A and B are shown apart, each in its own frame.
Chain A
Amino acid sequence: MMRRLPAVEGEWIDRSRPLQLRFEGRTVTALQGDTLSSALAAAGIMTVARSFKYHRPRGIVSAAGHDANAVFQIGHEPNQRGDQIAAREGLAFQAVNTRGGVARDRASAIGLLARFLPVGFYYKAFLGQRSFPWFERIIRNFSGLGRVRFDRIDPPRERRYQHCDVAVIGAGIAGLAAAVSAAEHGARRIVLIDEAQRPGGSGLWHAKTQPQDVARCRELIDRLNASSDVELLCSHSVVGYYADHELAVSRIDREDGGLRLLRARAVVMATGCIEQPAVFRNNDLPGVLLGSAAQRLLYRHGIGAGERIVVLGANDEAVALALDLVSQGLTITDLAVPEGSPIDPTSLPFGALRAAGVRVHGNVRAIAAQAGSDGTLAAVEWLGAGRREQVTCDCLLMSTGWMPALQLALQCGGSITFDAALGQHLPQTLPAGLFVAGRANGCFDFADRATDGAAAGEQAARHARGDLPVADRSAPPRSTRRHSHPAALFAHAAGKEFVDLDEDLTLADLANAAQEGFDSVELLKRYSTVGMGPSQGKLSNLNAARQLARVTGRELPTLGLTTARPPWQPVSLGALAGARLAPLRRTAMDAWHDRHGAVWMPAGNWRRPAYYVGATDTQQQIGAEVHAVRNGAGLIDVSTLGKIEVMGRDAGLLLDRMYVGVVSDLAPGRTRYAVMLDEAGTIIDDGVVARLADGRFYITTTTGGSTAIYRELQRRVAEWQLDCTLHNLTGHLAAMNLAGPRCREILAQCTQLPLDDKAFPYLALREGHVAGAEARIARVGFVGELGYEIHTPCDQAQAVWDALLHAGAATGLRPFGVEAQRILRLEKGHIIVGQDTDGVTNPFEAGLARMLRMNKPFFTGQRSLQALQRRGDRQQLIGFTIAAAQVPLAESHLAIDAGNIIGRITSVAYSATLGRTIGLALLAPAHAVIGGTVQFRDDHGAFHPATLVAPPFYDPAGERQRSGAQA
């Protein structure tokens, strides 16, 4: 059983500061500096989790977050890494994926079905099965890790940008040396990142057996702390490496940790190696863990990994591990060296072990762990020296090999190669400015790691300050010996040799997948899901590839590697979301609208008043706003319209090419309605074009299209090399539309401009002053009444709005919102691009053919229209009326004929002015016949007959807007 030992020199815990945690209802006493995993270990809790598929008992494996065993639910936060989350007073947590808790998980019965759940089970069992949806519900209910709360919104997580000269990933020996060296060579902003709570990595282990190395490591840490140029980010993980040395850095010691986006001029990856588990029968029992995990528990948290420890060792590190633990008073009974290991059990270091009372066994095979009555490790057995041996133990440490942590280098475009002599992958090509050092670079000895790190730090500093090209550093002092067993896979007749602890995949599963034809690493991954669990293959991908090589008879280097993608470590969606920024635009009159009861609706990234709350209900209020415009006057804020000024000799030419009609012949002071298409002939925008003067035009766009149209105009100016320039006035000018038969007399009180039809005719534009503010006034309107659209600088707009309302108080002027505007424009049959048109609607179909000037030399979409004209319409926009007032029809309700869909409603509303329901619909041309009848189906399946008519529904001659004639 694991237990807390007497104080260990350099430990990270504070024994004077006890903490009380709650694990599945049980009080766990921890110390400041513990992680959740170490707290459980110190409390002797060996089984901390249940496996994903078979719900097998699982314990601590890496103590570094490299495995997905110690994953917990903390409050509403699922899947938190117990190896990394810091213990704090009162924290309550529980295992994920259990039914009834980790100790008595009722779902563990599923393990009895393991033989019926082969690799590729879902494909084999459910492909083509109509019953799958039924099973899917059960499976989904049963599977998955953790619980997500959909009923709460957490506070935003912090996300910040940061810049540095040199980023060093990994604060082990190589990383420390790199950071110190970079500072010594002139880098001023250095960020050193490590997943652990403190720097040092494995450099602080072996305190009694290699004290000179530990002293050197401490010296580096002291120099680091003394440097004002280095920022140390402990308990942070680099989860993604993107172009131009941008690193996504996640805080990992809290469940609500945020994210930094760190942009570096140069990067040193001193990410070390990840110790790989051996694969043997029952290698997943609690009590079976990596050798490096035992040292982490010992030197960081003062915890002994077991009372009777057996080491399964295949490399120099295994011998050093055993000697180290013995020197700290732990009991190592046996060291078993598997056959094929790159070390000789008869060599000198083993003598020291034997002298310490450790029995050494060479060439062992058929290894199997055995569970006790509590489901944790009780013994280990193997076949060696011609006989089967069994050793009673409560801890089995695996120290059989390593995988360099190079995935981040692959994410940013680097490549790696397999070094046969060293028996591991090494960097092959790296992007400029990225340097790999230490064990990840094949340097294993302590001094070599420091030397390699220092060299990489110097190179990074030179690169950061622009010394290009940076000369290759001398050949790194790589190890000349193997540090990994070529394939620590020990098949057993009884099976249960787990390759992937996340997914409960065994050697047999992978062999079966390969034999079924999934014999490349990518196919094997997708079919078996190996490496697709929460730990992203850190402990399984290499062993899976070795098993594939073994089964297919190929060499490991020929198999390649699966693609490395971010995130390298799990990161919460909350951290990615950050502050949840949602830019919202407000018009200059926004506060006035708010004070006067505006009910808001989104319009692009603006908010607009839908209507104003009054004494009556919503529909009556909207109706009253409509009535005011039709019978007196109304005022609407239309500041959200796009507004662009086009200036220069070719301004008219540009607009002629952009719009379907001709605008270059406009006289100064005149406006024209204009429609814009894309290359396919689809309507993308409409608005008004005004000529202010020679070489100076002013155009409006739809609210949603303003940014895109401005960009498109800019692009076209550059592409066509025109002599004109653009200015986007959308945010600089406010706009309001004063409309209604009495609006002229209201406006006359606020301006000196003559407003009679002769001086200021329909579709004219005048520049002058309104209420003392500079203004552009256009006699245009969307609502079919006499109207003036007044554009004025934002900072003067509220005064203009107030003045107009004051002037119109006696005539019943009232503000109106978008809902009333939509009814008013529908009565006039004016379309809204994007509502009455869709992603394929062309001008012929929308009834806008009269706008086209097909004889122009060119306009965008012209050639497509010529083809579309030959092809004929696919749909036709047409008006309809329904006599009834209360019709439950809405936009997108379908028109049905003989059971077939023949179209859909694009706009529909009840018109109090006309006393009937009116609308627009896109119908199949054969059915779009004036005077015909179509049936629209509502949400409840009821049909409503409608008569097809030609819009406009109101004032078809347009007298009211042209002359302001009274109804």
Chain B
Amino acid sequence: MSTRFGIKGSDAPALLQQLGLRIPAQPNRVTHWLPHDPWGSGRCLRQGSSEFLIELDSSEMPALPAGGEAFPNAWPLIRSDHSQLLSGDSWSRDLAQLCSFDFARLQDEPDLVVMTLLAGIGVTLIREPAATSTDFALRLWCDASFSTYLQDCLNTIRGSR
């Protein structure tokens, strides 16, 4: 069970940093949080310059300070995205049937946040931190209303191998 929410607005980076959280310095990058990070393990995706998707591995929602006068442009967001982990090194090859992104880029840029179309729907993709140098797993998020459709598509391409 994980907890997922977003923070958006021009003050969002400053707000997160004030909480002592490590955030990606560049847009479209991910920072993986470890158990000793303030909110525990999880991941912080910077989607553009001022929008963050935060997913914590625990089910406990952290107390989010109101932006208030210090950070008037930092807005917490409800995020009910469908989240899925794709493990196994053949996924990048299989996903080529559904997605035009060059997954080889994730070998060279493992902290890349990819916002692309997969099977015709918008998804956000990252490469999971590798336990070994040969591990290759992807974590993706999409609009929850597409979860069944996406699962059907993934099952189809897995079944067609």
Q: Which of B6, B75, B145 contacts A587 (CB 8 A)?
A: B145
Residues A581 and B78 in contact, CB atoms below 8 Å apart: no
Which of the 9-residue segments A154-162, A333-341, A655-663, A801-809 touches chain B?
A154-162
Q: Which of A158, A583, A794 contacts B97 (CB 8 A)?
A: A158
Which residues of chain A are within 8 angstroms of B63 by Cβ–Cβ distance? none
Which of A162, A647, A648, A729 neighbours the largest number of chain B CB atoms within 10 Å of its CB?
Answer: A647
Which residues of chain A are within 8 angstroms of B79 by Cβ–Cβ distance? 732
Residues A727 and B144 in contact, CB atoms below 8 Å apart: no
* Cβ < 8 Å to A, chain B residues 70-99: 72-73, 75, 77-81, 96-99
| A293 CA / B6 CA spacing, docked (Å) | 65
Which residues of chain A are within 8 angstroms of B145 by Cβ–Cβ distance? 585-587, 606, 639, 730-731, 794
Q: Which of A585, A723, A732 contacts B81 (CB 8 A)?
A: A732
* Cβ < 8 Å to A, chain B residues 1-30: 6, 8-9
Q: Which of A158, A647, A733 contacts B80 (CB 8 A)?
A: A733
Smallest beta-carbon distance B128→chain A, Å: 21
Q: Does A795 contact B (CB under 8 A)?
A: yes
Residues B81 and A158 in contact, CB atoms below 8 Å apart: no
Q: Does A263 contact B (CB under 8 A)?
A: yes
Other A-B pairs beyond A725-B73, A732-B143, 4, CB < 8 Å: A579-B98, A583-B146, A586-B149, A725-B8
Residues B146 and A585 in contact, CB atoms below 8 Å apart: yes
The 9 closest A-B pairs by CB, nearest first: A731-B143, A585-B145, A163-B102, A732-B80, A794-B80, A161-B100, A581-B120, A731-B145, A160-B96
Considering only CB atoms, which chain B residue lies closest to A584 in the complex?
A: B149
Q: Does B115 contact A (CB under 8 A)?
A: no
Q: Does A588 contact B (CB under 8 A)?
A: yes
Residues A588 and B6 in contact, CB atoms below 8 Å apart: no
Considering only CB atoms, which chain B residue lies closest to A639 in the complex?
A: B145
Q: Does B106 contact A (CB under 8 A)?
A: no
Q: Does B153 contact A (CB under 8 A)?
A: yes
Residues A727 and B146 in contact, CB atoms below 8 Å apart: no
Which residues of chain A are within 8 angstroms of B100 by Cβ–Cβ distance? 161, 261, 263
Q: Does A105 contact B (CB under 8 A)?
A: no
Q: Does A120 contact B (CB under 8 A)?
A: no
Q: Which of A158, A583, A733 contacts B121 (CB 8 A)?
A: A583
Residues A795 and B80 in contact, CB atoms below 8 Å apart: yes
Residues B96 and A732 in contact, CB atoms below 8 Å apart: no
Which residues of chain B are within 8 angstroms of A261 by Cβ–Cβ distance? 100
Binary per-residue interface labels of chain B (129-161) against chain A in the complex, 1 for a CB within 8 Å, 0 otherwise: 000000000000001111111000100100010
| A887 CA / B132 CA spacing, docked (Å) | 71
Considering only CB atoms, which chain B residue lies closest to A261 in the complex?
A: B100
Known pairs A158-B97, A158-B160, A794-B144; A263 contacts B75 (CB<8 A): no
Smallest beta-carbon distance B130→chain A, Å: 21
Q: Show 6 residue pairs from A and B whose CB-CB distance is below 8 angstroms, ordered by the A residue.
A: A581-B119, A581-B153, A582-B120, A583-B119, A585-B146, A586-B148
| A729 CA / B149 CA spacing, docked (Å) | 19
Residues A583 and B149 in contact, CB atoms below 8 Å apart: yes
Residues A647 and B119 in contact, CB atoms below 8 Å apart: no
Q: How many residues of A contact B (CB 8 A)?
A: 38
Interface range, B side: 20 to 34
* Cβ < 8 Å to B, chain A residues 139-166: 158-163
Which residues of chain A are within 8 angstroms of B101 by Cβ–Cβ distance? 161
Q: Which of B73, B96, B120, B160 contacts A162 (CB 8 A)?
A: B96
Residues A647 and B75 in contact, CB atoms below 8 Å apart: yes
Smallest beta-carbon distance A264→chain B, Å: 11
Which residues of chain A are within 8 angstroms of B146 by Cβ–Cβ distance? 583-585, 731
Considering only CB atoms, which chain B residue lies closest to A588 in the complex?
A: B144
Q: Does A761 contact B (CB under 8 A)?
A: no
Q: Does A793 contact B (CB under 8 A)?
A: yes
| A582 CA / B121 CA spacing, docked (Å) | 10
Residues A163 and B104 in contact, CB atoms below 8 Å apart: yes
| A733 CA / B72 CA spacing, docked (Å) | 24
Q: Which of B6, B119, B160 contacts A727 (CB 8 A)?
A: B6
Known pairs A579-B156, A585-B143; A263 contacts B102 (CB<8 A): yes
Q: Does A590 contact B (CB under 8 A)?
A: yes
| A159 CA / B97 CA spacing, docked (Å) | 6
Q: Which of A161, A585, A725, A730 contacts B99 (CB 8 A)?
A: A161
| A727 CA / B7 CA spacing, docked (Å) | 10
Residues A733 and B78 in contact, CB atoms below 8 Å apart: yes
Q: Which of A158, A162, A729 contacts B78 (CB 8 A)?
A: A729
* Cβ < 8 Å to B, chain A residues 722-739: 723, 725, 727, 729-733
| A648 CA / B78 CA spacing, docked (Å) | 16
Residues A732 and B102 in contact, CB atoms below 8 Å apart: no
| A263 CA / B103 CA spacing, docked (Å) | 13
Smallest beta-carbon distance A254→chain B, Å: 16
| A72 CA / B148 CA spacing, docked (Å) | 41
Residues A727 and B81 in contact, CB atoms below 8 Å apart: no
Smallest beta-carbon distance B59→chain A, Å: 11
Considering only CB atoms, which chain A residue lies closest to B78 in the complex?
A: A732
Considering only CB atoms, which chain A residue lies closest to B105 in the complex?
A: A163
Which residues of chain A are within 8 angstroms of B99 by Cβ–Cβ distance? 161
Which residues of chain B are within 8 angstroms of A649 by Cβ–Cβ distance? 72
| A916 CA / B30 CA spacing, docked (Å) | 62
| A20 CA / B9 CA spacing, docked (Å) | 70
| A583 CA / B142 CA spacing, docked (Å) | 12
Which residues of chain B are within 8 angstroms of A160 by Cβ–Cβ distance? 96-97
Smallest beta-carbon distance A263→chain B, Å: 7
| A162 CA / B6 CA spacing, docked (Å) | 33
Smallest beta-carbon distance B40→chain A, Å: 20
Which residues of chain B are within 8 angstroms of A648 by Cβ–Cβ distance? 9, 73, 75
Smallest beta-carbon distance A711→chain B, Å: 12
Which residues of chain A are within 8 angstroms of B6 by Cβ–Cβ distance? 727
Smallest beta-carbon distance A726→chain B, Å: 9
| A323 CA / B78 CA spacing, docked (Å) | 78
Considering only CB atoms, which chain A residue lies closest to B153 in the complex?
A: A581
Known pairs A590-B148, A606-B145; A727 contacts B77 (CB<8 A): yes
Which residues of chain B are within 8 angstroms of A163 by Cβ–Cβ distance? 102, 104
Binary per-residue interface labels of chain A (679-719) against chain B in the complex, 1 for a CB within 8 Å, 0 otherwise: 00000000000000001100000000000000000000000
Which residues of chain A are within 8 angstroms of B102 by Cβ–Cβ distance? 163, 263
Residues B96 and A731 in contact, CB atoms below 8 Å apart: no
Q: Which of A159, A581, A725, A731 contacts B144 (CB 8 A)?
A: A731
Considering only CB atoms, which chain A residue lies closest to B9 in the complex?
A: A725
| A11 CA / B121 CA spacing, docked (Å) | 48
| A731 CA / B160 CA spacing, docked (Å) | 29
